[in-house]
Amino acid sequence: MNVLKQLTSIHTFIFDVDGVLTDGTLLVTEHDELLRSMHAKDGFALRWALDKGYKIFIITGGRSQGVKQRLAKLGIEHIYLGIHDKLSLFQDLVANEGLDAERSLYMGDDVPDYSVMKAVKIASCPNDAVPEIKEISHIITEKKGGKGCVREVIETVLRLQDNWFQPDKA
Q: Convert the pLDDT of each residue in 43-72 to its tens digit.
A: 999 999 999 999 999 999 999 999 999 999
For helices 149-160 and 40-51, the axis angle rounded to 10 degrees is 30
Q: Are 125 and 137 in contact (CB under 8 A)?
A: yes
Distance CA 56, CA 26 (A): 24
Distance CA 166, CA 170 (A): 6
Mean pLDDT in residue range 113-131 = 98
Q: What is the pTM of this model?
A: 0.95
Q: Which residues pair with 107 in a beta bridge?
A: 15, 124
Q: 67-88 pLDDT, tens per residue?
A: 999 999 999 999 999 999 999 9
Top-level CATH class of 3-164?
A: alpha beta
Of 35, 22, 45, residue with least CA distance to 155: 45
